[in-house]
Chains A and B, each alone.
Chain A
Amino acid sequence: MGRRLSRRELLKNTAAVGAAGAVPAAAWSPLVNAQGADVPASLTADAFQTLEAVVARLIPADANGPGALEAGAASYIDRALGNALADALARYRAGLAALDALAVERTGRAFAALDAAMQDTLLHEIDADSAPNAALTGFVAVVLGHTIEGTFGDPRYGGNRDFIGWNLIGYPGLRLAVAASDQRMSDLPQWTRSSAYELAMFESLDPESEFDDD
């Protein structure tokens, strides 16, 4: 069915990245432990592991390249649950715990310890109209929405690491000005890779500042 960028296209566009010289200087870096693994800020270590396992099934890696887990979507969500998505924290805690409990009940093992096929089976089951537990009703859709944000959003927010999300779908990157010939083209334009907040025009802006009401 679907198809990723051809090898030729990847090479061509990777070269363009090199030419543009954009190296993502993340303004925010995740907490990592001695092994280089993410340390969660909002969720417990167990819940975070479950979340990582879920995210990895929603937009999985394959032989052609990395997916949402590698893009840092779980760590984006964990961090956002401490600020912009704070309203969803209770939902995540309850949902992840319920999912783990379901996995234990069905298989005797934690969700994160299951193989991909079994994880998919459980996710499909709770994504159906009649989830076995109120905490799981609609939970896949919630995590999916945030996984997309963490995979394809501006890297400034901690996801889309190494522009994995943008590479996956062939998004050419942020450009402040696009030429008439590029607008018309039926091929892929050259890629650039940078966060909006690395562009000179926006670098002084703080994306998480509040707009004052007065």
Chain B
Amino acid sequence: MATTRTDVVIVGAGGAGGIIAAELAKAGMQVVALERGPRLNTSDFAGQDELRFFQRQDTRPDVKRQPVTWRRNASERATPLGSLAYGNQAGGGTVHYGAVSWRMHEDDFQARTNTIERYGADAIPSDSSLADWPLRYADLEPFYDQAEYELGVSGKAGNLRGTRIDGGNVFEAPREREYPLPPLLVEQPSLVFDEAARDMGYHPFSTPRAILSQPYNGRAGCSYCGFCQGFGCHMGAKSSILVTKLPEADATGNFELVTGAMVHRVNSDGDRATGVSYWLPDGSDNTVEADLVILAPFIYDNTRLLLLSQTPQFPNGLANSSGHLGKHVMTHLMARLLVKFDDRRMNAYMGPSAQKHSIDDFNADNFDHSGHDFIRGSQISIGTHNLQGGPISVSTINPPPGVPRWGAEYRDFIADAFTRYASMVAQTENLAYADQAIDLDPNVKDAWGLPAPRMTYDWRRPNERARVEFMLQRMEEIGEAMGASQVWRAPLSPGRPGAHHEGGTRMGSDPAESVVNRYGQTWDISNLFVVGSSTFPTMSGFNPTLTIQALAYMTADAIVNRYRGSPGPLV
């Protein structure tokens, strides 16, 4: 058992934690990051070993050691989810993510106000806790810019300071400057998708991705091996925290990364955090004392650690005087449509990530929702059916109705379809509801003996069902326009959480209605910060990570330039 002292302790060295660590260390603060997993190198990744990385998920949390359980409602007993979509090593989820990197729309930050203004308060389901963010897009723009340029994102602007640019996403919020790198190369499915979408009056574009389309900052450009989403990049062309921010932090001399460190408690004294306690693989229980405690272990442990760290003053979880800890959890419901062609090969396995080209015409409030029985929307992309397209992923392709899942007919289907299919996905925004929640599972424990985080969640609410159905119909139209010989829907999940889990430590402008302020600073304990998508009040129809990272830069900036000089509440 050891006790050390530092200025700042960060829990989790992933997508968000890595940025804060580097920025604070560069500003001269002494930073210790505690990461439960190992620190790997690009040379550890035989990126093309699909069995190891895609199937057995060697860089993702082990569902047996680190279970997250799920139940549809409070009367069910929760069972462990079969796979977990976040990190388990230095660099976190950014090591194996698809690197799709969006800025949210201006409208996404004010969904509640805008919905009421345009469609009336009745348009919001009465049980939804849809809320505005406590900041505006313009507040975050400089930090989006910083993230894109420091990490390296490839794309094409569709809105430069208000000027719409064809070929980029014309629905995007105004950006101050172009992307640092041009878009990635186009593949056959995107060529066909773009043509159909344009004919239909939509606005297709190359999905912005934190993958280098050219050499940048001493790193090599992508070579299009195709093993990307789910894999560590063997050449470092994916702009993961492992190859971007951790080397920066190392270079300061102010940064220490402790790997194999499983944090189990935030220590506090009244309304001050004093540090954290963690177990090492040798079983020892250790403590870091720090002036500033920053939680960045992704949404489950953001909530779980606060619940586990209750005190007499905070009996319902540390920094939870609002009672909102663990609530308003959201996930992206993935509506999927498959298309198959007789006249050409799609070769969907080519190229990086699963969301290749996209349209944004049906996202957010980019289209008029009058007369529809839902609000908000979804971005729609073309690519492979599920995450990646290597040969084992043939198992993820849902056969069309009538084709069995095994046997001679199945074999004929996959032999025919593997090179001829592509898949569209609508990543639909799920509204926040207070009863979509995370708490501690009374029955299931993790490998350390801690109660597993438990999700109570069922997406099948009227607004969500209507949104999903609308998107499936739009995708069917696009599929027909693409000239597919066959178009079919993938089955929808029976309530199961989808992609990109968010919420649990919601940010807001009212301490009674939220856990943290716009900087991720807890309302109750001013030297305790929480970063990551757990702070999102709404999720948008976009993948979250660039927004997580922009917020991390904003938090670091506020700490260095304001908090450090006069510690205390930032709002």
A and B held together in a complex: yes
Interface residues of A (CB under 8 A from B): 1-5, 57-60, 62, 67, 84, 87, 120, 123, 127, 140, 144-145, 148-149, 152-154, 156-157, 165-166, 168-172, 174-178, 180, 182-189, 196-197, 199, 201-202, 205, 207, 211-214
Pick from A172, A185, A205: contact of B44, CB below 8 A: A205
Contact between chains at A174 and B188 (CB < 8 Å): no
Within 8 A of A (CB), among B404-430: 405-419
A57 / chain B contacts, CB cutoff of 8 Å: 406-407
Contact between chains at A213 and B410 (CB < 8 Å): no
Contact between chains at B46 and A59 (CB < 8 Å): no
CB of B343, distance to nearest CB on chain A (Å): 8
Contacts beyond the supplied A154-B48, A172-B347: 11 A-B pairs with Cβ under 8 Å: A1-B413, A3-B412, A5-B415, A60-B407, A60-B408, A140-B406, A154-B49, A165-B391, A168-B415, A171-B349, A176-B223
- Asked if A178 meets B406 with Cβ closer than 8 Å, knowing A84-B56, A149-B51, the reply is no
Interface string of B172-184 (1 = CB under 8 A from A): 0000000000000
Pick from A127, A156, A205, A211: contact of B38, CB below 8 A: A211
- Asked if A214 meets B259 with Cβ closer than 8 Å, knowing A2-B416, A168-B414, A186-B344, the reply is yes
The contact size tier of chain B is: 35 or more
Residue B116 CB within 8 A of the other chain? no
CB of B190, distance to nearest CB on chain A (Å): 9
B417 / chain A contacts, CB cutoff of 8 Å: 2
Contact between chains at B411 and A177 (CB < 8 Å): no
Within 8 A of A (CB), among B337-371: 344-347, 349-351
Task: Specify the chain A residue showing the minimal Cβ separation from B36.
Answer: A213
A182 / chain B contacts, CB cutoff of 8 Å: 350
Residue B198 CB within 8 A of the other chain? no
Pick from A176, A178, A196: contact of B49, CB below 8 A: A196
Pick from B52, B225, B390: contact of A178, CB below 8 A: B225
How far, in whole Å, are A60 and B415 apart by their CA atoms in the complex?
Answer: 12
B55 / chain A contacts, CB cutoff of 8 Å: 149, 153
Contact between chains at B48 and A152 (CB < 8 Å): no
How far, in whole Å, are A212 and B394 apart by their CA atoms in the complex?
Answer: 31
Tally A-B pairs: CB < 8 A.
166
Pick from B47, B187, B414: contact of A184, CB below 8 A: B187
Interface centre among A87, A152, A177 (most CB of B within 10 A): A152
How far, in whole Å, are A84 and B414 apart by their CA atoms in the complex?
Answer: 26
Residue B558 CB within 8 A of the other chain? no
CB of A111, distance to nearest CB on chain B (Å): 16
A211 / chain B contacts, CB cutoff of 8 Å: 37-38, 40, 44, 58-59, 89
Contact between chains at A202 and B48 (CB < 8 Å): yes
Listed by A's residue number, 21 A-B pairs whose Cβ atoms lie within 8 Å are A2-B415, A57-B407, A59-B410, A60-B408, A67-B411, A123-B406, A148-B392, A149-B51, A153-B392, A154-B48, A168-B415, A169-B394, A170-B418, A171-B349, A183-B350, A185-B188, A185-B345, A196-B47, A202-B49, A213-B281, A214-B280
How far, in whole Å, are A199 and B47 apart by their CA atoms in the complex?
Answer: 11
Interface centre among B44, B50, B64, B280 (most CB of A within 10 A): B50
A178 / chain B contacts, CB cutoff of 8 Å: 223-226, 350-351
Contact between chains at B412 and A59 (CB < 8 Å): no
How far, in whole Å, are A197 and B409 apart by their CA atoms in the complex?
Answer: 33
A144 / chain B contacts, CB cutoff of 8 Å: 395, 405-406
How far, in whole Å, are A211 and B187 apart by their CA atoms in the complex?
Answer: 34
Contact between chains at B415 and A4 (CB < 8 Å): yes
How far, in whole Å, are A31 and B56 apart by their CA atoms in the complex?
Answer: 24
Residue B191 CB within 8 A of the other chain? yes
Contact between chains at A3 and B416 (CB < 8 Å): yes
- Asked if A177 meets B223 with Cβ closer than 8 Å, knowing A149-B392, A202-B48, the reply is yes
Task: Specify the chain A residue showing the minimal Cβ separation from B48.
Answer: A196
Task: Specify the chain A residue showing the minimal Cβ separation from B402.
Answer: A1
- Asked if A2 meets B413 with Cβ closer than 8 Å, knowing A171-B418, A205-B44, the reply is yes
Residue B317 CB within 8 A of the other chain? no
Pick from B223, B391, B405: contact of A152, CB below 8 A: B391
How far, in whole Å, are A110 and B78 apart by their CA atoms in the complex?
Answer: 39
B344 / chain A contacts, CB cutoff of 8 Å: 186-187
CB of B483, distance to nearest CB on chain A (Å): 11
How far, in whole Å, are A88 and B228 apart by their CA atoms in the complex?
Answer: 28
Contact between chains at A58 and B407 (CB < 8 Å): yes
How far, in whole Å, are A58 and B411 apart by their CA atoms in the complex?
Answer: 8
Task: Specify the chain B residue showing the minimal Cβ separation from A64.
Answer: B415
Within 8 A of A (CB), among B279-299: 280-281
How far, in whole Å, are A24 and B418 apart by their CA atoms in the complex?
Answer: 23
CB of A49, distance to nearest CB on chain B (Å): 19
Pick from A3, A87, A149, A157: contact of B415, CB below 8 A: A3
CB of B229, distance to nearest CB on chain A (Å): 16
B165 / chain A contacts, CB cutoff of 8 Å: none
A188 / chain B contacts, CB cutoff of 8 Å: 345, 347, 419
Interface string of B314-355 (1 = CB under 8 A from A): 000000000000000000000000000000111101110000
How far, in whole Å, are A174 and B224 apart by their CA atoms in the complex?
Answer: 11
A189 / chain B contacts, CB cutoff of 8 Å: 347
Task: Specify the chain B residue showing the minimal Cβ separation from A145.
Answer: B395
Contact between chains at A169 and B350 (CB < 8 Å): no
Residue B121 CB within 8 A of the other chain? no
How far, in whole Å, are A133 and B344 apart by their CA atoms in the complex?
Answer: 46
